[in-house]
Structure 1
């Protein structure tokens, strides 16, 4: 019996799929690539305004390669997983240096670029160049795991291998550009993580999970581990000119390369913050004002942030350098800041303080 998977999916896509996303216009490898990186772990509705702003500022790979890193990170602020932005610019520089600004249409060459894996490379090949290549993003994994009742968590090597085999099996030789968008759309719009709308699915007649009434069993969940809880002080240090001290974080790790507030050991009590600022930063400060704390969740742990505002006496011992800057609030907000730090500095309750 012939495989009608792609045929049914394309029929559905023609009527119900998304045909007018921003990266569908003036489609080229650069725009497809940026959209694919942004869409990793992020929903389309969230990505669209970021993509439009990013394209306005960095309209081509040359503009991205030549831009200051702070500018790139600033336009990524709020999307999270900031290594994606740094890898994006690193890959852009490689494309300019090694390929004269033209993306290769070869799977291996694309995968050699920083931050581009097998599925992203395939998406570029299919979407930008119209060549047959099988993709396997999160939405596609879910569709295929349910359709074929592939048990287990897709992060496991054996499960992932099976899903790749199924992806290759179903990818057609014709209309591959539409097909890749169609299977992503089906996962995002119909075969959703919770409460899939099977009644409207074009694949339900042959879907093993639907037939068994087990759609919620596939794909298997990642084994859960309790996330550790961490605590830190974040200090808003303001000098006599109303400027705030920001520090650049290390290039790797959480919020790598972004600008943030200085952190102090949570072992210090509120009444010890003045001494802590002097010991760590060489700054003499007034009595701290505590600001409401909040919790921010990363992929691997929860971080409890306790902010405090301290006025700095005199000129202080810190001058502007590569990793520290005194900036007025509007200047600070133009840099690449982690989302919770940006929120903290723009919160309506804190405007008067800053």
Structure 2
């Protein structure tokens, strides 16, 4: 509940206390896994930095596994019967670029888990979070070793595909193992009206949304992405689902609207490719929206949305400030994890990415910036 309502600091403190007092309980494994993945999340770190809240603000001196306040010496925090987390003095937690502090804490906790819970540390999703934290901490060689190990593992599933994609990013001479779309650079900003007749949409690469079961022939959809140095632009064209009711909007758009029962789209963006956390933007045909950052629905960025449509289809056009997503505009060649999903309640689902794993963040594709 804390993590979903903007207080991940309290969630970490609670999980920390749980690990200290009830380290033998199975639920502790899930708590520790969540902490590693949350601390490795660039999205969560950016949101916390923008809101002025530290990733962890212990309410007591005893429960402070991720606060150091120590300069020039190792900072050790108690985990009671579980173990101790050590944040090395060579990389103080309060220095470095955005996300470096959390990455160091993720790596410190992961090292503890490796020593005390090796089966938990072997989970592919934690290995990917570890590698993302290593990249954020400047440990590229160590991250590559993790990816090679995961890529070579038999029956590695979508996490193995993520590892192979990471290796491909470093050496893109072969075919990309994931769905790949290039994010074109806009020559001029579009006029947001939902009509999609601006020049950038004519050059944008299309992402065809597909259903796992092939029942969507009568209601196809495509999505597009583009960028400039200020905004990430998202658009989609969705054929109306036969038999579905499409009500017009009445009144102003609310924050975090209830989109249940509506034909809707989701855009997922994984900025640092930890393949477990992401920004989520939801849109329906009325132009109503909802957002979440690493599962935190209290995140409410300011962005711009327009809709249009006719009896046959509806369109969405959005401009999301890059500053809401990251500290610097992505350079040419940078890659984010990305997925687009469409939900037609009671009818079916479509996605760009791996449709067979609709709910798995590791099933996202790659968005490469031009």
Using the size of structure 1 for normalisation, the TM-score is 0.23
> Which has the higher Rg, Structure 1 or Structure 2?
1
Tell me which protein shows more helix as a share of its residues.
1
Using the size of structure 2 for normalisation, the TM-score is 0.22
